[in-house]
Every structure is written in structure tokens, then in C-alpha cells.
Amino acid sequence: MIAEAGHFALVLALFVALVQAVVPMYGAHRGNALWMSMDKPAAVSQVLLVAFSFGCLTYSHVVSDFSVLNVVQNSHSLKPMLYKVAGVWGNHEGSLLLWVFILAAFGSAVALFGGNLPPSLRARVLGVQALIAVGFYLFLLLTSNPFERVFPAALDGRDLNPLLQDPGLAFHPPFLYLGYVGFSMAFSFAIAALIEGRVDAAWARWVRPWTLAAWSFLTIGIALGSWWAYYELGWGGWWFWDPVENASFMPWLAGTALLHSAIVVEKRDTMKAWTIFLAILAFSMSLLGTFLVRSGVLTSVHAFATDPERGVFILILLLIVIGGSLALFAMRGPALRSTGVFKPISREGGLLLNNLVMSTGCAVVLLGTLYPLFLDAIGGSKISVGPPFFNSVFIPLMVPMFMAMGFGPLLSWKRADLVQAALRLKTAFIAAALVVAAALAVTGGGPFMAILGLGLAGWLFASTLVELGARIKLFKEPLGASLGRLLRQPRASWGMTLAHLGMAITIAGMAGAGGWKVESVQVMKPGETVNVAGYDFTFTGARQAQGPNYSIIEGTFKVTKDGRDVVTLKAEKRNYPVRQMPTTEAAIYSMISGDLYAVIGDPDGNEGGFVTRIYFNPLIVWMWAGALIMVFGGVISISDRRYRIGAPARRAKKTAMAAHP
Amino acid sequence: MNRLIYMLPLAIFLVIAGYFAKGLTLNPRDMPSMLIDQEVPTFDLKPLKGFQRGFSSADLKGQVSLVNIWGSWCFACLAEHPMLMKIAKQKLIPIYSIDWNEKNREDGPKWLVKHGNPYTLIGDDPKSRAAIAFGVTGAPESFIVDKRGFIRYKHVGVIDDENWKSTIWPLVQELRKQ
């Protein structure tokens, strides 16, 4: 009964979305205020219906209703409650339902908080949103019904993939989807702007908070995903350039570019068509990720169980959404007139460089991800493109951008003096040199790229602080006056400073973990000790234990340094009997200087020895700490005052119109 | 010229979409088992407790057959079981099976007594020897083997009326003609 109610609510949501896609759009076209005003009740009732539907599926999972196929295939009566709930979106159908739920939620947020939008723009934005939603409702209802019943009901379920039974992964998909789907807002605004034929500073302001929100969620999602890969896969790695990881990284790159180009539209009234293109690109990349994960055109460890019928459906959806929007862009884009002009060396120039690098990076990742498919399709061999390609192409691309990131914020709009900026940044040059010298002294040398990375991190961190110092006129005015300026900084510029500082910290973490990771694999018997990066790991033995729906081998390592106790690590190897799958739970002790990381493997024959892998991952927590700081910057920036109050440009226009009725 | 630049993204997307359409027909995922179109790995499994004969790769020569991997611990196998019984009763195809990963030697036979035995021959595989050779990822999994003893199809998960009628049975008939 509950499942049927959920199914029914979903069908209703489809019809509401159809109304929302047609009526307000047509109303905006004809200038009919009543028809336009349909957008708000439609968007709100849509989210209520999908929320109800999602609640029904969650309920079926929570009470382990094994007459629902989705529950049978992905749950088990013994599974802990957290994963019964997370299991709702740990599968194709449920995750798609979450996808449309979030889409509807964003739509209703525009309806409820978009009071400062002109009615015609709001009607069009929500109309485009509803069009996307219609596509996804049809996809769910026609190919992927999560509420399908099995008769007779199963005795118990097949359990969720044990790799997914993990807190990091339980919350990773919702954040990713909030990011992916969040970019649908920027997309809808872009399409609405193309239809209206107008992109101005006010438009850029309205889009920005939504883009920032999507970007922040996506950043959390990617960071959580890499953190999960780090401790759950047990290889000590944190990024594998897997197609599904790339699928989340491409919208991030496009979205980051969009965030920066929208600033130029807002402040300088130029780069309009480019910004519209990036808005389309960011969401297209999100959709592409959905296609890659669910269609089966590429193989990946993360891919959902796939089905060619679904693949065809999503491809048609892609053709309509991406193809349609790019066709609209091709028709209307040339008409978008920009007024601002600028020299290459200027704030705009810096942001443009950011955009070029980010979109080139996005193209590189796209090429690398799809290359196996291209080759396969023209009849070549089946190959996979791995980390060597991405590392050798992507990382060098980022180096000049991180250099420029130090300069950019110090350059003035329109035309700037590079020499003067460089002079102001001499402290940052010195800081970078000191970081490199310190790294060489501590490590005694390492890979060139890693040392360069640390230098760049130092450079970026210091130059961001120099820029903040310049903004508050530190040392130019009395300290009290500077402090006052510091407190009065708009939140958007705090956001920028924090995000750039976070980026610097993340780069340092990547460089450290990439360059100086120490790995040691061996068979250890109880009592044996290995020395890894100056730490003595003593294996004190293993024991058997039982978890709720798995059995455990737990190995204990006592870690000492120079005879002093550091920590006792307990690494687990779990075996999930229902799925016949083992998982590793690495034991990790994080320090600022690096992580101690121990994994226990299979017993080695008869002598009581175990295969153990021990790693020292220098600076790795910096990576996630930096990502958190970036997100914090994004959140601070969203709360900036100028996004909450209306945009002055548009208000001025309204009064002008009122004066000449 | 300027207009052409605006068309470029659409053109690139359409090329990529063309590849996607082609990619959907290629299905790299149909090859998770490297064994497709290769000979069945050689194995010789002991009989289950209380059974006369075991199951070896030599039993598969000269006919089109279905090899089903199951275990009494596997819930989904129980869901699949009535379908296999139906196939066996109608004598559509001989079903060979590997009883995989039983904790106790009695578990498999007990399960068959309780639910019925659709299998022509059963091999006991408590140590996953044959299962690993077949590249099994879980249970149930089934393989269609042709007359030469080559694996022609791998089915992951439950065989039900739908996939039997749409995929497996047509393939069996096709292979019989060869």
C-alpha cells in the first residue's frame, strides 16, 4: 500500500511538472500574469509530492518490506539502520528518485525565495526546471520504477553492496546530487536569459548564490568521495581518475569557471555569452555523469547495474536537454552584446585565464574519460585511460593557473600593471621560496612536481594574504583602522579569500601525499615490527569478531616513534556473507604531518602471519581540510548581503519604466 | 564566422552523442567475465554429500547446457529456484550446477530436499575453486555453454520469466542450430 502511494505520488508529480513546464512559460511569452503565477503553487506541490514519494521508499527500506523489489535487491533485515536509510539511494532507482527530489526542492526554493525576481524570469526559470523534471519523472516511471513489487515476497534481501555500507559513502551521494542538480538552477537561468535575450548584472547576481550553493555541495561531495576511497578501498590512494570520479570532477571544473566568469558579467558587463555557455556546460556535465554511470557505455567500479534500455532513454534525454540548449545558444548567443572592454593584463584577463584553464581541464578530463569509448566505437581495441595520462596532462595545466591565482585578485579591472602587482607580491615570492627550502630540508628531496606543488601552495597562500592585507590597507594605515576595514569586508570577498586559502592548503596536501608517500607491504607474524617513515609498527596479533551483518578479522598494530608510544591502530577486514564480499577498514591515525595508515589482509597460510600494508601519507589531511575551508568560503559568500536584497541595476530600470508608462 | 563559433559546442556535442549511441550497442560491460567465447575452465568437482556423481567440465561437451552457481546461503537463489524447477520439468535445457561456498557439507543437500532438485549434475565447491575459475561475482550466476564446451553467455542474478523468454531461451535455441 505504502509503495503504491509513493508510485502514485510520483505520477501526480509528473503531471504537476507538465503543467509547470507549459503554463507559466506560455504566460511569460504572452505576458499573462495569472498564468505566470502558476509557477509557485506548481513548484511547491511538486516538491511535496516527490518528498512524499521519497518518504514512502524510505519507509519501505526502514521496515524491510521485502515485497518491494528495490528493498529485496538492496537491503537485508540484519543491516544497521543507518544503511537501511542510505540504501534508499545506494541503487539506481532510489538514487534517481533522490535526484528528482532535489531538483524539485531547488525549484520550490526559487518559488519561495525568488520574490525579488521579475515574474517573467521566474516563470521561465521554473518552466525550464519543470521540463528537466518531466524528463526524469518519465525516466523513473518508464524504466526504473523503485516501487515495483515482487510476488511472492522474498524471505530476506540481497543486502547493499558492502563497499557502500560506510558512513562516508552514506552521505556522499546526497551531496553530489545537491551539487549536480544545483547546477540545474544556473542552467535554467541561462536558458531563461537566452529566451528573454537579456543577460545583465542583475541576472548575474541572481544566478550567483545558486551556483555557489551547487559548487559548495559538489565540493563536499567530491571530498567525501575521495575520503571514502582513501579509507575504504585500502590502497592509501584518494583519487583514481575513475570514470565516475571524473564525472563528478567535470561539472566541478565547469562550475568553478562559471563562478568566476559570472563575476565579470556582474561587474563589467562582458563575457556574457561565455558565461551562459558555462552555465549550460556545468549542468550538461552533470547530466553526462548521470549517463555514464547508468548507461553502461563505460565500465567503472562505481557504476550502477546497467541496462541498455535505460541508456537509450538517458541518451534521448541528453539530446533534448543538452542538444536543445546548445542549439538555443547557437541561435541566441550571438545577440548577447557586451559593453565592457579590457586589456589582457587586468582582473578580467585573470578571470578569463582561470576560465580557459578550467574549461581546458574539463575538456582534457572529458577526452580521457571518453577515449576508451571513442576507440571502441571505431573498432579499435578495448583500452582504459588511467592516472598516468591525467596526471601528465592535467597537473601541468594547473601550474600556470595557480601562479596566476596569486596575481589575479591584486589586478585592477580593465587595465592593470603586472610589474606593480609583482612588487606587491614580493613577500609571497619569498614565502614560496621558504616553503620549497623547508620542504627540501625536511625531506631531503623528492619528485619535482611535488616540490613545485608545495612551492605553489606557499605562493598562493601568501599572495592571498597579501591581497587581503592590501584590501584592508595593512601597515599603510594605523592598525585599528585596518582592523576596522577587516571587519567591514563584504562577505563575498571573505568567501574569495577563504576559498583561495583553502585551495592552497589542498594543493599542499596533494603535493605532500603524492610526492612522499611511503608504502610497505609484507607478511607479519604477531610480535614483528616494521619501520615506516620513522614510525615502528608492531603487529600484536589478530582476532575474529562478529559485526551486525558481517564477520571481522581485526589486526592490532602498536605504533611507536623513538621508543615513545604514538597510537594503537586496529585495522579490520570484514566479510559480508550475503554478498560474499570482503571489505577493508583501514586503521588511520591522522596527524598534521601525515597519516599513519594500516591495512590487514589475508592470513598467510598456517604460521599465523597476515599480509599487512602500512602507509605513511604525508600532509594528506590538509587536502580535506582545504576542501572544507573552500566550502566554508562558498557558504560565507552565499550569505553576502547583496544577494539577499534586490539588484540595484534592475530596480533602476523599473523606476525608469514607471516614469514612462 | 562569429556565428560559427556559437555553433561549435552543439557540433561537438552531437559528435559525442553519436559515439554514445554507438557505445550503447557495444556494451563493454558484457565482458566482465573474460571467459565469454572461451572454453569452459577445466574443473572436476566432488559430488554433494549423499549424491552419486559430481560435476566436471567434461560433462558439458556435446550439448547446449546451463551452468548455475548457487548456495543454500543465498537468498536470491531461493527466489530463482521455482523458475529453474519449471525449466527442468519442461526439459528445456539440462541444468548443471555448482553448489558454491557451503559452510557445512549438509547444507546443500538439505536445501535441495526441502525445495526440490532441478539439477542434472551438481558439483560441490566449498573452496570456491570452480567459482573463481568461472569469474563468479556472486550468486546466483548462470552460464550458457554451447556444444563445443564454450561459454557463450553469462547471466548475473536471478533468472526469471522475463529474461528467460527475452534473452536466454532464444540464445539456447540459436546455439542448438549451430
Three-state secondary structure string covering A286-306:
HHHHHHHHHHCCCCCCCCCCC
Chain B residues closer than 8 Å to A327 by CB: 10
- The string of pLDDT tens digits covering residues A191-212 is 999 998 888 888 888 888 999 9
Chain A residues closer than 8 Å to B25 by CB: 308
> CB–CB of B75 and A312 under 8 A?
no
Which pLDDT score, from 0 to 100, does residue A16 have? 95
Spatial separation of the C-alpha atoms in residues A27 and A46, rounded to whole Å: 19
The pLDDT > 90 percentage for chain B reads: 19
Which pLDDT score, from 0 to 100, does residue A650 have? 44
Is residue A479 predicted with pLDDT exceeding 70? Answer: yes
Task: Report the mean per-residue pLDDT for chain A.
Answer: 85
Cα–chain center distance at A544 = 38
Q: Is B162 a domain residue? A: yes
The pLDDT > 70 percentage for chain B reads: 92
Give A575-610 as a DSSP string: EETTTTEEEEE-EEEEETTEEEEEEEEEEETTTTEE
Chain B residues closer than 8 Å to A151 by CB: none
Helix (H) or strand (E) holding B70: strand B65-70
Q: Which residue range(s) make up the domain with B95?
A: 29-177
Spatial separation of the C-alpha atoms in residues A321 and A323, rounded to whole Å: 6
Chain A residues closer than 8 Å to B138 by CB: 579-581
**How far B138 CA lies from chain A's nearest CA (Å)?**
6
Coil vs helix vs strand at A89:
coil
Of residues A101 and B19, which shows the higher confidence score? A101
**Closest chain B residue to A298 measured between Cα atoms?**
B28
A158, A293, A294: best mutation site toward chain B, by most B Cβ within 10 Å? Answer: A158
φ, ψ (nearest 5 deg) of residue A565: -65, 135
> CB–CB of B75 and A273 under 8 A?
no
Coil vs helix vs strand at A189:
helix
Q: Count CB neighbours of A392 within 10 A.
A: 10
| CA triple A321-A323-A328, angle to 5 deg | 95
Which pLDDT score, from 0 to 100, does residue A446 have? 81
**How far B3 CA lies from chain A's nearest CA (Å)?**
6
Is residue A379 predicted with pLDDT exceeding 80? Answer: no
- The string of pLDDT tens digits covering residues A246-293 is 888 999 999 999 999 988 888 888 888 899 999 999 999 999 887 777
Select the residue of B6, B29, B138 nearest A296 (Cβ to Cβ).
Answer: B29
Q: Is B73 a domain residue? A: yes
Is residue A455 predicted with pLDDT exceeding 60? Answer: yes
Q: Is B19 on the interface with A (CB under 8 A)?
A: yes
Q: Is B21 on the interface with A (CB under 8 A)?
A: yes
Q: Is B20 on the interface with A (CB under 8 A)?
A: yes
Is residue B38 predicted with pLDDT exceeding 90? Answer: no
Q: Is B10 a domain residue? A: no
Spatial separation of the C-alpha atoms in residues A387 and A252, rounded to whole Å: 19
User: In B, residues 139-168, which contact A (CB 8 Å cutoff)?
Assistant: 139
Is residue A161 predicted with pLDDT exceeding 80? Answer: no
Q: Is B9 on the interface with A (CB under 8 A)?
A: yes
- The string of pLDDT tens digits covering residues A52-83 is 999 999 999 998 888 888 888 888 887 888 88
Spatial separation of the C-alpha atoms in residues A615 and A597, rounded to whole Å: 5
**CATH number of the domain where residue B76 is located:** 3.40.30.10
**Closest chain A residue to B158 measured between Cα atoms?**
A73
- In which band, very low, low, confident or very high, does the pLDDT at A183 lie, cut at 50, 70 and 90? very high
Is residue A392 predicted with pLDDT exceeding 50? Answer: yes
Greatest mean pLDDT among A133-137, A605-609, B165-169: A133-137
Which pLDDT score, from 0 to 100, does residue A383 have? 57
> CB–CB of B6 and A333 under 8 A?
yes
C-alpha count within 13 angstroms, C-beta hemisphere, residue A262:
26
A329, A580, A581, A602: best mutation site toward chain B, by most B Cβ within 10 Å? Answer: A580
Is residue B33 predicted with pLDDT exceeding 60? Answer: no
The candidate with the shortest Cα–Cα distance to A110, out of A119, A81, A475, A627, is A119
> CB–CB of B73 and A291 under 8 A?
no
Which pLDDT score, from 0 to 100, does residue A647 have? 46
Task: Provide the 8-state DSSP code for A117.
Answer: S
Q: Is B7 a domain residue? A: no
Q: Is B15 a domain residue? A: no
Which pLDDT score, from 0 to 100, does residue B26 have? 64
- In which band, very low, low, confident or very high, does the pLDDT at A386 lie, cut at 50, 70 and 90? low
User: In A, residues 75-134, which contact B (CB 8 Å cutoff)?
Assistant: none
Helix (H) or strand (E) holding A512: helix A491-515
Select the residue of A277, A295, A374 nearest B24 (Cβ to Cβ).
Answer: A295
**How far B19 CA lies from chain A's nearest CA (Å)?**
6
- The string of pLDDT tens digits covering residues A77-127 is 878 888 888 888 888 888 899 999 999 999 999 999 887 888 889 999 999
User: In A, residues 351-380, which contact B (CB 8 Å cutoff)?
Assistant: 370, 372-374, 376-377
Is residue A661 predicted with pLDDT exceeding 70? Answer: no
Is residue A363 predicted with pLDDT exceeding 80? Answer: yes
Q: Is B4 on the interface with A (CB under 8 A)?
A: no
**Closest chain B residue to A369 measured between Cα atoms?**
B16
- The string of pLDDT tens digits covering residues B106-148 is 888 988 988 889 999 999 988 777 877 787 766 788 999 988 8
Spatial separation of the C-alpha atoms in residues A278 and A309, rounded to whole Å: 30
- The string of pLDDT tens digits covering residues A604-641 is 666 778 888 899 999 999 999 999 999 999 999 988 87
> CB–CB of B19 and A370 under 8 A?
yes
What average pLDDT score do residues B31-43 get?
Answer: 68
Spatial separation of the C-alpha atoms in residues A84 and A128, rounded to whole Å: 34
**How far B30 CA lies from chain A's nearest CA (Å)?**
9
- The string of pLDDT tens digits covering residues A501-534 is 999 999 999 999 888 888 888 888 888 899 988 8
- In which band, very low, low, confident or very high, does the pLDDT at A658 lie, cut at 50, 70 and 90? very low
**How far B115 CA lies from chain A's nearest CA (Å)?**
14
Is residue A380 predicted with pLDDT exceeding 60? Answer: no
Which pLDDT score, from 0 to 100, does residue A217 have? 95
Q: Is B37 a domain residue? A: yes
What average pLDDT score do residues A323-338 get?
Answer: 88
- In which band, very low, low, confident or very high, does the pLDDT at A163 lie, cut at 50, 70 and 90? low
Is residue A182 predicted with pLDDT exceeding 70? Answer: yes
How many domains does one find in chain B?
1
